[in-house]
Amino acid sequence: MITESNLNLPLMRNNITRTDLDAVIAYLSQDDPPLTHSKQTLDFEQEWSEWLGVKYSVFVNSGASANLLTMAALKETFGPGEVIVPPLTWVSDIAAVLQNGFTLVFVDIDRCTLGMDTAQVLARLNPNTHAVFITHILGYNALTQQLLDELERRNIPLIEDVCESHGATFNGRKLGTYGLMSNFSFYYAHHMSTIEGGMVCTNDPMLYETVRMLRSHGMVREATLDEIRSSYITNHPDLNPDFIFAFPAYNVRPTEVGAVIGRSQLKRLDENNKMRRRNLDLFLSRLDQTKYQTDFAVEGSCNYAFTLVLNEPDTALRDRVEQALRRHGVEFRRGLSGGGNQLRQPYLRKIMGNEFEQYPNVNHVHFFGWYIGNYPGLEQEKIEALCQLLNGL
């Protein structure tokens, strides 16, 4: 019998299975298998594109690299300008915007979606807005039709960070298919893993070619279109055609081993996500609504974590929650995604000063919100015992 005293609930468990490892062993047992990105990577990119519903995907070595290449491609295509971003996200989203010379514009979050508040985004749009870089937090959809319609009307690109929300949907369509580009992460604790790894997705053929070149030092030979390669070769006759560098870019290439694991994991992603949805519904339905927020926008959600947020600021209850979770072996992260309000972090305080004080919603989850692990093998009895523990505090 599972009781509160032996919960033993990590953030993730068994996300890389024996089946995945056997696939790697089988691949490495071949004679002289390629190890850097090659056919397995191409196959994984194609299978991922088909699963998601986009034309093009580029596999890279991390979700952070996916963020970086997306912003680099945006800069090469549209030039400098403002990018609207949320204060609740992972550091690499903000870093990628900064590293590519864009101006940061922050708006507060919506407590029900944990994504950017649509009204505040619309209020900050202006002729210098080059993109809205939205983050779908911990499996929740952050899109609204009003936002999509206004961005389309103004011809402002939407960039989607879906690193925490594989398989989540809006109006029945997968997140990551609405934006000009989208990013995914395959870190160990996410919906699926390639150990480390990420993906950039788009329907735009020229952005696809740009991202492919940016992934490999900016080398023109990485482009798949003959006209791109021929143009550079013709315009630069003094250069070796094999070593023409179009951009001052990066080496963020993946390995074939990661692609093998990704292809293996993708086969069971949908079924695993069904179990995650079931788990979240049970968790939210059992929580005490007088203490904890339960009105999250769960339609279309797909969460690899349970979101636990106090209804009201209460430092005494917060401390009791953390003490109880530690005492009963429940791993957690305070601040929800990325450690909470990014504007409070040293790297942003140097740039933005005390702007973090202007966003009450993200400040609330920064101090009074956590996430707890949700994975396919999590027993429902543990979820019931966890909620009993929390409700008794």
pLDDT at 1: 46
The mean pLDDT value for 104-131 works out to 98
DSSP E strand boundaries for the chain = 56-60, 82-85, 103-106, 129-135, 158-161, 169-170, 173-174, 181-185, 198-202, 305-309, 332-334, 369-373
b/e 151-182 (16+ beta carbons within 10 angstroms → b): beeeebbbbbbbbbbbbbbbeeebbbbbbbbb
Q: Give the confidence band of 6 by pLDDT, cuts at 50, 70, 90.
A: confident
Token code pair at residue 379: 């027993």
Q: Which CATH architecture has domain 18-266?
A: 3-Layer(aba) Sandwich (3.40)
pLDDT score of 389 more than 50: yes
**Each residue's pLDDT tens digit, 47-98:** 999 999 999 999 999 999 999 999 999 999 999 999 999 999 999 999 999 9
pLDDT score of 2 more than 80: no
**Each residue's pLDDT tens digit, 162-207:** 999 999 999 999 999 999 999 999 999 899 999 999 999 999 999 9
The mean pLDDT value for 35-46 works out to 96
**Each residue's pLDDT tens digit, 333-342:** 999 989 999 9
Percent of the chain clearing pLDDT 90 (strictly above): 97
* CATH 3.40.640.10, the chain: domain bounds: 18-266
CATH number of 4-13+269-391: 3.90.1150.10
Average pLDDT, the chain: 96
* CATH 3.90.1150.10, the chain: domain bounds: 4-13+269-391
Q: Give the confidence band of 215 by pLDDT, cuts at 50, 70, 90.
A: very high
Contacts of 352 (CB under 8 A, 6+ apart): 104, 106, 343
- Bridge-based pairing of strands 129-135 and 82-85 is parallel
Q: Give the confidence band of 5 by pLDDT, cuts at 50, 70, 90.
A: low
pLDDT score of 385 more than 80: yes
- Amino acid (one-letter) located at 368: F
Q: Provide long-range contacts, Cβ within 8 A and 24+ apart, for 359-363.
A: 359/87, 359/106, 359/107, 359/108, 359/109, 360/108, 361/108, 361/109, 361/110, 361/111, 361/117, 362/86, 362/87, 362/88, 362/108, 362/109
